Structure 1
Amino acid sequence: MKTQQFKFSFVAATLILLASFNLKAKDRIEIKHQKGDATMLVRNAIENAKGKNIQLFFEKGVYSFFPDYAKDQYCTITNHGNGNKKIIFQFDNFDSVEIDGNGSQFIFHGQVAPFQFIECGKVEVKNISIDWDIPFSFQGDVTAVNPQENWFEIKPYTDGYSWKLENERILFPNINDFHFASLGSTLTFDKASKQVDYGGLDMNLRPQKVEKQSNGILRIYQNDLRRYPVVGTVIHSKGDKEHNRYAPAFQTKNSNNILFQHITIHHALGMGFLFERSQDIKIIDCKIQIKESSDRAISIIADATHFANCKGDILIEDCTFEGMLDDGTNVHGTYVEVDKVLDKKTIRVKLVHFEQTGFEFAAKGDEVWFIKAPSPSRGETNTVFEVKRVNDVFTDLTFRGDLPEGLKVGDIVENKTWNPAFTMRGNTIRDHRARNIIIKTPKKIVIENNKLSSMMSSIMLRGESFFWYESGNVEDVLIRNNHFTDCAYGGAKGHAILTVSPRLGKAFDETELYDRNIVFENNTIETFGNRIVWADRLDGLIFRGNTIKQTKMYSPQFSDAPLFELINCKDVQIHDNSYEGDVTFHIKADERTKQTLSVKDNKGIKKD
């Protein structure tokens, strides 16, 4: 009897072990190269996977993906346009996903969302190059300008681009019956370097009319331009803001343990890498750049990397980001606005920015901060007990404890649980629109050993309860051993190498300290401009051991600006730095800042 019981137990244990092994075993699928549309090839591989652990290994080659057989699904994508998307690679609710492109090139056609990872336990993607056959861009060389008659002329690019002139309007990209409502967001670039044009400003092109001249030149009439393009520059348009962010190359939502490595993105219809409510992320040795020998002025349409309400550790290391039409990275949480106080434990909150609609602000068990105007400081905390979604804009949050006394409509709420520690090391970010790095997290931030050059501020620390509603203030920042070259060369005024400047709504106190504890040390700054640090409402800055040299690459745009401008700040130290250059106005500080400002042991920097 005992022998039979032993045999039964052994067989049962063996079956359980085998079942467990099968659950965890990876379904390795080898994708053989094929010509033509490979969309159904990958869809079948994913949809017919035997388990929750999948590995796709591609035979090296060039693969094409079209929208015809892509998965059609309504998607909410933060900082992009929501709607029905044509998805090529969709991974939903897998325990682990591994993709090895083996050096393959993936060429996408038309409006498609290349990769989505939703509710995945582990994601690893490597050895892939991504591009589009035709970019969602309109581009031309500026040949003449006549501000008196409100027009400029361009020689439009045709090879490799898709557009047409119809009823005195430029329609592009004119692919699969889609075209933008207008030329829309437009910027000019240096033709040789493909850097944003010195002094360049964002334009919104909605021409009154476009005329084609006999030599193929297009004359564009618009009477409300702040700045006309410079003859000889390349002008680039990406369409109206309601439609020009279709989808990122890689969207990762509610997923963990993520690695992207050895990936190159030459074009995308939105951001490069987007992460929402995901944790523990590494981007290693990846590139976003214009393909060599291409005449394109830009790579991707928006940010290289973007992190919304993530947590754990984020690392971006040994990457090169060039040519994109927005930031190198943006790391932030999300402020929601109190729309109604429903009872003593429940509020209705509102997602304010139009590109946040549908975003999951909080889940059961998340801890939040309440921020009650006029103070922008993080106040009482509470834990979410229940979430009821009203629609894409409104959500009802019920808490375990009572709401803070005095909470009112218009106050804001920030998710405390979903904030990451962030490290950016050994990267090159240059020749693109906007900031190299814009970041808002209260946890440890390390930015070190990077090569940075920017159109706007190189590093911006800006929480805002206005327009973008991206939270929140920083509390522990280390910026060291970076090399900054000719930063803030665009035409906008509010930028410096380091800009610390919260943007809060009218209900909030504009003098209360907001960001804290920044160390900026042992960096090399070689730049033409005057502005090095521009800080507002900052509590604790150590600026030490830095070398600043003025270059002659361009003329300073704001020659009356100081090296350091400090407003409503506390405990700022400027020690042991050196400056070589023509700027004589070194430090501008208001009376409040001067009370705790320490300037000493510097070479070439004096306290004004």
Structure 2
Amino acid sequence: MKSENKILKVFLCLLIVLSTRVNAKEIINIKPTNGDVTTLVRNAIENTKDKDIKLVFEKGTYQFLPDYAKEQFSFVTNHGNGLKKIIFLFQDLNSVEIEGNGSEFIFHGHTAPFQFLNCNHISVKNITIDWDVPFSFQGDVTATNSEEKWIEIKPYTKGYSWKLQRGRIYFPNIDNFHFASLGSTLTFDKDTKQVAYGALDFSLRPSKVEKRPNGILRIYDEHIRKYPEVGVVIHSKGPHEENRYAPAFQTKNSSNAVFDNVTIHHALGMGFLFERTDGIQILNSGIYIKEGSDRAISTIADATHFANCKGGVLIENCRFEGMLDDGTNVHGTYVEVNKIINKNTVRVLLKHFEQTGFEFAGKGDEVWFIKTPNPDRGEVAVVSNVKYVNEYYSDITFSKEVPSDLKTGDILENKTWNPVFTMRGCTIRDHRARNIIIKTPLKIIIEDNDLSSMMSSIMLRGESYFWYESGSVEDVVIRNNRFKHVAYGGASEHAVLKVSPRLGKTFNQSALYDRNIVFENNTIETFDNRIIWADRLDGLIVKGNTIKQTTTEKPQFPNAPLFELINCNNVEITKNRYEGNVTNYFKVDKTSAKTLKVKRNKGFKYKK
């Protein structure tokens, strides 16, 4: 009888993947099993004969190792391009559905969990993603010495992977991989897991590391800008050029993507990355540290990131915490005119090292020409052909002649691939950088969210150099949000709302750039002064907001104003209420003062 039961058990394990067809859709049912499930999932996907598939996972825990993953070269914007080990690769499908039924997916080592490439309908529901061992090195700071240039830490060991060898820390020390140095480093409050007050980003490249008594490591580095406080948690993620392997979910050249009740506790890059995707919803989902974990961070980079997407982008009822970059970043991409080949064709260059290989434009796209020194979007032309030269250069041919005054060094922006963006009912906090950084000329609505940020909570910043993330906004509503404890990092000054284009030297640095922003009926409770900081903005209404200065921290910039306006036009500040001790309410230059209207506010006044 025992022998028969054993045979039956083995037989059932071999049948953990079952495939059926319902209404011309192939449904693949997957059951939990011990060990690596990568091969089973890969075979199930690769052997499907339909363009419409659905994977249904029976509730359980599934482990995925990179050993037998699909290997494919991938261009991954804002990450490192290269050969990726992909667990779930969906390519050229009409529809893909994944029903997790509350399952937990545990990944190991260098893996790219999900890629959706050229898929028309995507639905992912009810799964949680984590790594067995994070790509992190962290410890508690026990002592510092700025004269001798060292810090002492007690590194975490249980659940982490690292070793000390010949005066050097090797981490994550997984599958024969380790980073060249500790690299990008940040400190966190041990109790709240919030980025430590006044913390700075810095890079740790120790000259040597010594083992001390009681499990302590002494790290020598003469380039530390600011020594952390004793008692904080210090976290390193490797050098900037190496530490973004892949997002948990990459969706590219696709449409109609819905992620519902998806939780990400760790990823080797961003949580959700979308490139040239039409129509996106992230609902009832989260990126945050698992309950009870001693980890300081969730994802290595942004929670969500959207590059040259279009249609509607909706993020609703989500929770983003602990990531090492923005809560969301929405942007297009500027490319630089490298060469004018003929009257209809230009060669363009992708400028940032993490944008190489990005598809800036395709046939039928409309493109704006932006000619220095004027940053305004100029003439529009339709793309008739794109010739890929290499990962840096492409030749774009238009259906009509390019402007006669177009020159090398000017930039192009894709008009077609811009989304309408809505975020509501979300909580974003306890992470590096900004809650929301956004650039799209179409409608933006940010409402009913709870926001707390290390840097500016909401930043509107098109950049025609370094990141080359386009572009200016033209229709923004920020209403009924609750901002609490904002801009507590120590790198530089920030604000609750900061509008600050960053344009190259060849552009007019005083020309208006962003337009038409409404900031109304928000509640702000924070310790520092800056609320609105706007530069080169045409059209701003600040109305009906309640601002309360707290005593949770000492102001880092006590002389900063509540409102600062630089080269702005048509700003109205009305019916707001302020409670606090700031007396430096306004800093307004002559240009902005000409059209500024301030009336019916309580707790502060504007003196011309």
| Cα distance in structure 2, aligned partners of 1:496 and 1:167 | 45
Deviation at 1:396, TM superposition (A): 0.3
Q: Could you tell me how far apart the structure 2 residues matched to 1:77 and 1:481 are? A: 35
Alpha-carbon separation, structure 1, partners of 2:387 and 2:233: 49
Task: Check if 1:465 corresponds to 2:455.
Answer: no
Q: How is 1:329-368 mapped onto 2 (pairs within 5 angstroms)?
A: 329-368=328-367
Counterpart in the other structure of 2:368? 369
Whole-Å Cα distance in 1 between the matches of residues 23 and 178 of structure 2? 46
User: Runs of 4 or more off by more than 3 Å in structure 1?
Assistant: none
Structure 1 range deviating more: 554-563 or 223-232: 223-232
Matched, 1:445 2:444: yes
Determine if the alignment matches structure 1 residue 417 to structure 2 residue 404: no
Q: Which residue matches 2:592? A: 593
Contact 2:422 2:444 in 1 (8 A): yes
* CA deviation vs aligned residue, 1:520-549 (integer Å, no higher than 9, x gap): 000000000100001000000000000000
Describe the SS at the equivalent of 1:370. Answer: strand
* Identity of matched residues, %: 70
- Paired with 1:158 and 1:33, the residues of 2 have a C-alpha distance of 29
**Where does 1:234-383 land on structure 2 (aligned, <5 Å)?**
234-383=233-382
Task: Identify unmatched segments of 5+ residues in structure 1.
Answer: 1-21
Whole-angstrom CA distance in 2 between matches of 1:282 and 1:43: 26
User: What is the 5 A alignment of 1:399-438?
Assistant: 399-438=398-437
Secondary structure at the aligned position of 1:277 is classed as strand
Question: Which residue number corresponds to residue 167 of structure 1?
Answer: 166
Deviation string 1:321-371 (CA, Å, 9 cap, x unpaired) is 000000000000000001111111111000000000000000011000000
CA distance in 2, matches of 1:466, 1:552: 38
Deviation by residue 1:191-244 (Cα, 9 ceiling, x = unmatched): 000000000010111111111113221111111221111110000000011110
Aligned to 2:384: 385
Shift of 1:466: 1.2
Q: Give the secondary structure class of the aligned counterpart of 2:68.
A: coil
The Cα offsets for residues 29-75 of structure 1, whole Å up to 9 and x where unpaired, read as 11111110000111111111121000000011100000000001110
- Retained in 2: the 8 A contact 1:290–1:298? yes
Matched-pair contact (CA < 8 Å) for 2:493–2:557 = no
Offset of 1:494 from its aligned partner? 3.2
Q: CA deviation at 1:24?
A: 6.8
Question: AA paired with 1:587?
Answer: F
Alignment of 1:23-62 (within 5 A): 25-62=24-61
Cα 1:285–1:23 shift into 2, 3 Å = closer
In structure 1, distance between residues paired with 2:604 and 2:358: 47
Q: In the alignment, is the contact (CA less than 8 A) between 1:562 and 1:587 conserved in 2?
A: yes
SS of 2:381's partner is strand
> TM-score normalised to the size of structure 1?
0.96
> Aligned partners of 2:335, 2:166: CA distance in 1, in Å?
43
Would the aligned equivalents of 2:201 and 2:491 in 1 still touch at CA under 8 Å? Answer: no
2:538 alignment counterpart: 539
Tell me by how many angstroms 1:605 deviates: 1.4
* 8 A contact 1:24–1:52 mirrored in 2: no
Listed one character per residue, the Cα deviations across residues 270-302 of structure 1 (whole Å, up to 9, x for unaligned) are: 000000000110000001010011000001100
CA distance in 2, matches of 1:494, 1:516: 23
CA–CA separation in structure 2 for the residues paired with 1:494 and 1:93: 46
Instruction: Name the structure 2 match of 1:3.
Output: none
CA distance in 2, matches of 1:577, 1:433: 29
Separation in structure 2 between the aligned mates of residue 62 and residue 493 of structure 1, nearest angstrom: 43
Q: How far apart are the structure 1 equivalents of 2:469 and 2:217?
A: 40
Q: What is the aligned partner in structure 1 of residue 113 from structure 2?
A: 114
In 1, the alpha carbon distance for the partners of 2:474 and 2:353 equals 28
- How far apart, in 2, do the equivalents of 1:253 and 1:199 lie? 37
Contact 1:419 1:442 in 2 (8 A): yes
- Kept in 2: contact 1:421–1:445 (CA 8 A): yes
Q: Report SS of the residue matched to 2:45.
A: helix
Cα deviation per residue 1:96-141 (whole Å; 9 max; x = unaligned)? Answer: 0000001000000000000000000100000000000000000000
What residue is the counterpart of 1:6 in the other structure? none
Q: Secondary structure at the match of 1:592?
A: helix
C-alpha distance in 1 between matches for 2:534 and 2:272: 29
Count of residues paired in the alignment = 587
Aligned-partner Cα distance in 2 for 1:337–1:550? 44
Task: Say which SS state the counterpart of residue 78 (structure 2) adopts.
Answer: coil
Secondary structure of the residue aligned to 1:215 is helix
Which residue does 1:66 correspond to in 2? Answer: 65
Contact 1:439/1:461, CA 8 A, preserved across alignment: yes
Paired residue for 1:181? 180
Equivalent residue for 1:525? Answer: 524
TM-score scaled by structure 2?
0.96
1:550 aligns with 2:546: no
RMSD over aligned Cα atoms = 0.9
1:477 corresponding residue in structure 2: 476
Instruction: Report the Cα offset of residue 492 of structure 1.
Output: 2.2
Distance 1:78 1:167 in 2: 36
Further displaced range: 168-177 or 206-215? 206-215
Match of 2:16 in 1: none
Q: Which residue does 2:91 correspond to in 1?
A: 92
Q: How many Å separate the matches in 1 of 2:575 and 2:110?
A: 53
Mapped partners of 2:165, 2:466: distance in 1? 35
Query: How far apart are residue 181 of structure 1 and its match?
Result: 0.9
Q: Render the CA deviation track for 1:164-199: whole Å, top value 9, x for unaligned.
A: 112211110000111011101000000000000000
Q: Contact between 1:98 and 1:125, CA under 8 Å: does it hold in 2?
A: yes
Q: CA deviation at 1:23?
A: 11
Q: Which residue of 1 aligns with 2:6?
A: none
Contact 1:322–1:432 at 8 Å: present in 2 too? yes
The letter for the 1-side match of 2:128 is S
The residue number in structure 2 matching 1:605 is 604
SS of the counterpart of 2:281? Answer: strand
List alignment gaps of at least 5 residues for structure 2.
Answer: 1-20
